[in-house]
Amino acid sequence: MTTSMNRKSPILFRGDGDPRESPHRQLKDWLQSTLAEVDIQIDGNRPWDLQVHDERLYPRVITQGSLGLGEAYVEGWWDCPQLDELFTRILRGRLQERIGNQNLLSWLIRLNSKLRNLQSLSRSFQVGQQHYDLGNDLYQAMLDSRLTYSCGYWSGAENLEAAQEAKLDLICQKLQLQPGMTLLDIGCGWGSLMKYAAEQYEVTCVGITVSQAQIKLGQQMCAGLPIKFLFQDYRQLQGKFERVVAVGMFEHVGYKNYRQFMQIVECCLQEEGLFLLHTIGNRYSVTYGEPWLHKYIFPNGMLPSLAQIFRATERLFVTEDLHNFGADYALTLMAWLKNFEAHWPQLQSKYGERFYRHWKYYLCLMAGSFRARNIQLWQIVFSKKGILGGYRSVRPEQKSSTFRIRI
| 215/403: higher pLDDT | 215
Q: Which of 88, 115, 142 is the last residue of a domain?
A: 115
- Least confident span in 108-112, 169-173, 255-259, 276-280: 108-112
203 and 147 together in one domain: yes
Instruction: Return all residues near 368 (Cβ < 8 A) that are at least 6 apart.
Output: 83, 84, 85, 86, 87, 88, 90, 91, 330
- Least confident span in 110-114, 152-156, 267-271, 354-358: 110-114
In a domain, 91, yes or no: yes
328 and 305 together in one domain: yes
What string of DSSP letters covers 250-298? Answer: GGGT-GGGHHHHHHHHHHHEEEEEEEEEEEEEESS--SS--HHHHHHTS
110 and 141 together in one domain: no
* Res 168 pLDDT > 60: yes
In a domain, 75, yes or no: yes
Q: Are 71 and 354 in contact (CB under 8 A)?
A: no
Give the integer Cα–Cα distance in Å for 257 and 47.
42
Contacts 24+ apart (CB under 8 A), 134-143: 134/213, 135/213, 135/350, 135/351, 136/213, 136/214, 136/216, 136/217, 137/347, 137/350, 138/347, 138/351, 139/190, 141/339, 141/340, 141/343, 141/346, 141/347, 142/336, 142/339, 142/340, 142/343, 143/336, 143/339
Label residues 66-82 b or e (16+ Cβ within 10 Å = b): bbbbbbbbbeebbebee
- Least confident span in 43-47, 321-325, 364-368, 399-403: 399-403
105 and 139 together in one domain: no
| First vs last C-alpha separation in the chain | 62
Dump pLDDT digits (tens) for 68-114. Answer: 999 999 999 999 999 999 999 999 999 988 776 656 677 788 788 88
Percent of the chain with pLDDT over 90: 83
| DSSP code for 377 | E
78 and 148 together in one domain: no
Report, as an integer, the average pLDDT of 176-205: 98
| 268/62: higher pLDDT | 268
163 and 108 together in one domain: no
278 and 179 together in one domain: yes
100 and 203 together in one domain: no
Dump pLDDT digits (tens) for 104-114. Answer: 677 788 788 88
Q: Which of 115, 136, 160 is the last residue of a domain?
A: 115
AA letter at 371: R
* Res 403 pLDDT > 60: no
* pLDDT score of 211: 98
In a domain, 83, yes or no: yes
| 204/107: higher pLDDT | 204
AA letter at 312: A
* pLDDT score of 135: 98
CATH of the domain at 149: 3.40.50.150
> To the nearest whole number, what is the mean pLDDT of the chain?
91
Q: Rounded to 10 degrees, what is the CA torsion of 195, 196, 200, 206?
A: -50
| DSSP code for 155 | T
For the chain, the C-alpha Rg in angstroms (whole number) is 23
Give the integer Cα–Cα distance in Å for 314 and 74.
43
Q: Are 212 and 133 in contact (CB under 8 A)?
A: yes
In a domain, 8, yes or no: no
What's the domain count of the chain? Answer: 2
In a domain, 160, yes or no: yes
Residue 127: strand pairing partners: none
In a domain, 1, yes or no: no
In a domain, 11, yes or no: no
* pLDDT score of 111: 86
Give the integer Cα–Cα distance in Å for 132 and 287.
23
* pLDDT score of 19: 44
Phi/psi of residue 76, nearest 5 degrees? 85, 20
* Res 42 pLDDT > 80: yes
* pLDDT score of 22: 63
| DSSP code for 128 | I
Alpha helices in 116-201 (DSSP H): 126-127, 136-142, 160-174, 192-201
Dump pLDDT digits (tens) for 132-147. Answer: 999 999 999 999 999 9
**CA–centroid distance for 56 within its chain:** 30
Domain that holds residue 277: 125-402
Of 103, 113, 22, 33, which is closest to residue 69 (Cα–Cα)?
103
364 and 395 together in one domain: yes
**CA–centroid distance for 200 within its chain:** 27
* Res 15 pLDDT > 50: no
* Res 295 pLDDT > 90: yes
167 and 94 together in one domain: no
| DSSP code for 159 | S
In a domain, 407, yes or no: no
pTM for the model: 0.91
Q: Which of 115, 149, 180 is the last residue of a domain?
A: 115
27 and 133 together in one domain: no
